[in-house]
Amino acid sequence: MSDLAGKPLRYLIGADGAVIGKAGEVVEAPYGETVSGDCVKVAYVNLLDEYATGEYGPYLDDTDVSEAYGEGVIDPDGPGWEKNLAEQFGRAKADGFEYVELDNPDAYSIEAVINAIDLAASYDLKVIAKNPGLMGDGAAAYVVHPNIYGIIVERDAGDPHEMHVLRVRAGKPDLPVWFVAFGHGRVWAKGVASDADVYSNMGVTYSSTGEYGNSIDLHLPK
């Protein structure tokens, strides 16, 4: 069992600045921010160009998500791909993180995502998968990777049964899975919390202050 097992996730990527965690929690900070406290710390890493700086080209056409958030879709075959990741991984390592979440994997091929996971491993950083259910046929290859230590699932990106089937297929039946929601996702999250009760290592949280500004437990992992 990993040090993530049985712990609730505080998914705080929308918080204002650095965050503080408590013992027994897994805490994820916003982009470029830090986590303090006696908790398991997770850095947010964006596979997209977070601020659409134009510094990580060449770029691909926008996705619906990248356009909505004003982020750039970096071409994984260009030099900007590794530059973007190396900067974020280097910062995470310097700030004392052991884990990273790779956001927006569904904007890319499974080959590109695997490349990013391997690069994280070269920095001795463990990866938490984001929304593997959106990766289509690549979902199994994503979760089975030896450097994947958990899964974060957003609204409409999978349910407890689907995620359990996926982790069993990957040979990781106890892999921690956390479902997160905000805004109008509360009803979805409450339904997920009910369904998750029959599985081990599944937690559900809801943010009542904007997009992941806080974290309210609806179901604690067991």
CATH number at residue 40: 3.20.20
Asked whether residue 199 is assigned to any structural domain, the reply reads: yes
In a domain, 19, yes or no: yes
The continuous run of DSSP H or E covering 45 comes out as strand 40-46
Is 61 exposed, middle or buried, given 0-12, 13-18 or 19+ CB atoms closer than 10 A? Answer: exposed
Which range marks the domain in which residue 72 is found?
9-219
Predicted confidence at residue 161, as pLDDT, reads 98
Let me know: does 124 contact 146? Beta carbons within 8 Å.
no
Residue 66 has pLDDT above 90, yes or no: yes
Total structural domains in the chain? 1
Query: Is residue 47 in some structural domain?
Result: yes
Q: Is 162 among the domain residues? A: yes
Residues 72-85 pLDDT 10s:
999 999 999 999 99
Q: Which band of pLDDT confidence, cut at 50, 70 and 90, is reported for residue 1?
A: low
The amino acid occupying position 54 is G
Residue among 67, 69, 71 nearest 56 (CA): 71
Q: Tell me the pLDDT of the chain averaged across its residues.
A: 97
Mean pLDDT in residue range 189-210:
98
Domain-embedded: residue 49: yes
pLDDT digits (tens, 9 = 90+) for 116-155: 999 999 999 999 999 999 999 999 999 999 999 999 999 9
d(CA 218, CA 192): 9
Helix axis angle for 110-122 and 79-94, nearest 10°, is 40
Q: For residue 2, tell me if it sits in a domain.
A: no
* CA atoms of 108 and 98, how far apart (whole Å): 24
Task: Give the Cα separation of 68 and 46 in Å (integer).
Answer: 15
pTM (2 d.p.):
0.97
Q: Crossing angle for the helix pair 160-169 and 186-196, nearest 10 degrees? A: 50
Distances (CA, A) of 190 to 85, 163, 204: 35, 17, 8
Residue 3 maps to a domain: no
